[in-house]
Amino acid sequence: MANGFEYRGFMLDVSRHYMPMRDIKKLIDAAQICGMNRMHWHLTDDQGWRIEIKKYPRLTGIGSHRGQSYFGVFSDTENNDGFYTQKEIREIVAYAKEHGIEIIPEIEMPGHASAMLAAYPQFGCRRVVHGRTDSRIKDNPYNYQVEVSVGIYPDLICGGKDESIRFFEDILDEVMTLFPYPVIHIGGDEAIKLHWRRCPDCQARMEKLGIQTEEELQRWMVLEVGEYLASKGRKTMVWCDVLAGGPLPDHFIVQQWMGASEATRAHLASGGKIIISDTAGYYLDYPFGRIDVHDIWQYPRIPAYAEGYESGVLGLECPLWTEYVTDLKRASFQLFPRMAAVALKASEPESMDWPAFRGLIAAKQKEIEALGLTGAPESLWELTPEQKKENLADWERLTRTPSIMPYIHFENRLMLLEHTERFMEEIGIPKAFAERAGDRIMASLYHGHIVTEDDGAGEMVHQLMEAVRNRRDGVWTMFPENVWLDTMKCFTRFVQEHRQCYGYDGYDRGFWTPRQVQAKLFRLGELEYEMLPDKEGNPRIFLHIPSDANLMPDPLNESVRLAREFFASYFPEYADAPMFCETWLLSPKLHELLPETAKIFHFQSGFELYGTHPDSKAAILWVFHKTAIQQKTLDLNELDESTTLQRSMKALLLSGGAPGSADGQLVRPFS
Ligand SMILES: [Zn+2]
C-alpha cells in the first residue's frame, strides 16, 4: 500500500494582514488536528514586511506599516501594521515544533518586493528616461511604497546590481538563524519585468551573461541565491513561475500553483521535486463557490502534469492569501474544514468515498471548533451549481475594490503590457520604441509621476495590447501562428506609416487599426484581406496593399490562392466572395506617369475597373506623406523627389494634373 505524502502543508500570508502571535498559535493548534506537518510562512510581500532583520532595520521600520488599506469590504485599519521580532519568530518555530509542524519561511524575490524597496530603494532598478537619469525620481526611482491594495506590482529587486543580491543574502543569513529546517522559500512568482527591461544594470548583466530574456535573468538570480543557500546546507523552494527562465537543478523544490505545468512536468522528469498547490484545488482564500470541500475531495491527487512522476511529488499545500482575511475569525472560516480535507487527501493515497471522507472531515471540524474557532458551516461543504453562482456573486460584492485605487484596474494591463513589449520585439519593432510606448502606459499607473514625451508609440501599444489579449483569449485564438505574426507585422508597419502621413492626431483613428486587431483583416502572403459585407449583408472581401508587397504576378496570385484557402477554412461563407479594391494604385493615370515596366501595372492587370476618381489626391498622401489639411497649403515645389514615382508625380502636379484613384474588382489572375 502506498504511503501518504511526506509534505502536508498550509501557507499563511501575514503580509497582506498581520496576524497576532496568539492567533498564529491557535491556527497551529488547529493545523495539527487537521494532520498538517508543514507551515509555509509568507512573511514578505508588496503590502508589508513582517520579519525583523537586524542588519536592515528599515525593513520593519518602514516596510511593516501601511495604515488605511483598500481590500473591498475588508478595507479596515486593523492588522495592516505589525511585524514579528526575531524572538517572536523563534517562539512560533518552537511552538510549531511541539505540534509536529516544521516551518518554511518565505522571503520573496525578485517581485512582490514593494515593501522591501520602500525601505531600501537603492536595491531596486536604476531608472533612465530617454538616456538620462531623471532627478525627480533619483532617490526613489519607481516611487516605491508599501502597497495598500490587492494587485501585482512591477517593483523588483534589481537583477543587475551585485549589492542587491548581497542584500538579499544578508537577509537570508538572519533568516537561517531563525529557521533550523532545511527548506527556505524565496518566492519568484508574478515578477513583472517591465523595470528590468529598462534598467541599465539588469541589461548590462544580461549582456555579460549572454542571456536574451529577463526570465533567464530571474532564473540566474534564483540560481545564485539557491547556490548560496546550498552552501549553507539548505534547499531552495520557489514558485513555478521561475521555470519560465529555463530548468532548475533537481535540488530546487518547485511549488506548482498555476500555468506553466509543462515546465513543471519537465522538472519532475529530470528528477526534481514539487509541491502541489494548484489554484483549482487548494487555494483556500478562494470562496466556497469556487472550491468547496467536495471539490477538494474530487480534485485529482496527482494532476495530469505529475502523472508518471508520483515519486517527485513531495506533497500538497493549501495557501491562505490574506488580502480578504483580516483576522482569525475570517481565517477560520476560510480554512476550516477545507484544511482538514487537504491534509486528509495528502495523507490518504487510497481514494475514499465521499460519505466516508465527509464523515472524517466533520469529526475534525468538531475538534477544531472545540478550540474556539468557527469554521465554515456544513451548508457550504457541497454546493449545487446554483448555490456556487450565488456564493461567487456575494464574493464579488465583498471583494470589489474602490475605484480610487488605480492599480487594481491596471494589474492585468501591466502583465499584458509586459507580454506585448516582448511580442513587439518578436515582430521587429525596436525595443526603444516599444519601451517609450510602455512608459506612457506605466506613467498613468504612477499618477503621472514619470511622464515621457509621446512620439505616437503609446497608441500603437494600446492597440497591440488588445491584439495580444485577443490572441490569448479572444477572437485571434483560432488562427495559425504565421497569419498572426504576418498580420501584426503588417499592422505595425501600417500604423507607423499612417503616423508619418497624419502625424500624432491621426495615429489612433479607431476606424483603421481595430480591423487587424480584431481579426477582420488578415495578411496572407503579399496582400491583406478584409471581410466587409455589403449593405444587404452579402460577403465581400476588400484588398489592402501593404507597402512592402511584392507586386509581381506570381506572389500576387499565390497570395490570392492562400486567401481562398484561408477563408474556406475559417469563414466558409467568404470562400468565394468577390474581391474588391479601391486605391490610387489602380488609377489609369499612372500609365502616363510611369514606365511600362512599373510593377504597379501587374497589380492593375487583375482588375476590372468600375469607377475612377481622377481628382483624388490619395496618392499625394501615400507617396509624399502629406495629409489633406497639409495639401491645402502645399507648395508643390517643395515636394520630395527621391523616387521615380515622386519625380513623375510631382511633374504631373506642377502641370495642374492629379494622379487620381480607382475602384475595381479582381476578375482574373495577375499577369
Ligand atoms: Zn535592475
Please tell me the distance between residue 161's alpha carbon and the centre of ligand 1 in angstroms. Answer: 7
Please tell me the distance between residue 528's alpha carbon and the centre of ligand 1 in angstroms. Answer: 41
Last residue of a domain, one of 468, 485, 519: 519
What's the confidence (pLDDT) of residue 130? 44
In terms of domains, do 192 and 319 share one? yes
In terms of domains, do 412 and 475 share one? yes
In terms of domains, do 458 and 309 share one? no
Among 557, 493, 496, residue whose Cα is nearest residue 525? 557
In a domain, residue 529? The reply is yes
Considering the candidates 23, 45, 241, 508, report the single residue annotated as catalytic: 45
- CB-CB neighbours of 521 under 10 Å: 23
Considering the candidates 112, 185, 195, 602, report the single residue annotated as catalytic: 112
Please tell me the distance between residue 189's alpha carbon and the centre of ligand 1 in angstroms. Answer: 17
In terms of domains, do 410 and 446 share one? yes
Please tell me the distance between residue 166's alpha carbon and the centre of ligand 1 in angstroms. Answer: 14
Element of type H or E holding 353: none
Last residue of a domain, one of 519, 546, 561: 519
In terms of domains, do 294 and 409 share one? no
Grid coordinates in use for 633? 497649403
The pLDDT of 40-51, averaged and rounded, is 97
In terms of domains, do 563 and 417 share one? no
In terms of domains, do 551 and 412 share one? no
Considering the candidates 190, 411, 421, 526, report the single residue annotated as catalytic: 190
Q: Is the pTM higher than 0.85?
A: no
Please tell me the distance between residue 198's alpha carbon and the centre of ligand 1 in angstroms. Answer: 8
Span 434-445, pLDDT tens digits:
887 777 777 666
In a domain, residue 356? The reply is no
In terms of domains, do 609 and 558 share one? yes
Please tell me the distance between residue 365's alpha carbon and the centre of ligand 1 in angstroms. Answer: 48
In terms of domains, do 568 and 490 share one? no
Please tell me the distance from the alpha carbon of residue 117 to that of residue 265, in angstroms, as a whole number: 34
Tally of domains in the chain: 3
In a domain, residue 449? The reply is yes
In terms of domains, do 526 and 513 share one? no
Residue 45: active-site member: yes
In terms of domains, do 252 and 347 share one? yes
Please tell me the distance between residue 158's alpha carbon and the centre of ligand 1 in angstroms. Answer: 4
Last residue of a domain, one of 471, 499, 519: 519
Whether cis (ω within 30° of 0) applies to the bond prior to 180 is no
In terms of domains, do 492 and 544 share one? no
What's the confidence (pLDDT) of residue 626? 77
Sequence letter at residue 53: I
Span 103-118, pLDDT tens digits:
999 999 999 999 999 9
CATH of the domain at 289: 3.20.20.80
Please tell me the distance between residue 507's alpha carbon and the centre of ligand 1 in angstroms. Answer: 33
364: left (phi over 0), alpha (psi -120 to 50) or beta: alpha
Span 373-394, pLDDT tens digits:
999 999 999 999 999 999 999 9
In a domain, residue 467? The reply is yes
Identify the domain containing residue 427 by its residue range: 405-519
The CA–CA distances, whole Å, from 41 to 14, 108, 139, 465 equal 8, 11, 32, 36
- Sequence-ordered strand ranges (E) for 546-628: 579-583, 607-613
CATH of the domain at 644: 3.40.630.120
Please tell me the distance between residue 156's alpha carbon and the centre of ligand 1 in angstroms. Answer: 8
Please tell me the distance from the alpha carbon of residue 605 to that of residue 670, in angstroms, as a whole number: 6
Average pLDDT of the chain? 89
Grid coordinates in use for 300? 485529482
In a domain, residue 13? The reply is yes
- CB-CB neighbours of 538 under 10 Å: 10
The pLDDT of 190-199, averaged and rounded, is 91
Span 48-102, pLDDT tens digits:
999 999 999 999 999 999 988 888 888 777 889 999 999 999 999 999 999 999 9
In a domain, residue 291? The reply is yes
More confident residue, 632 or 279: 279
- Given a cut of 80, is residue 192 above it in pLDDT? yes
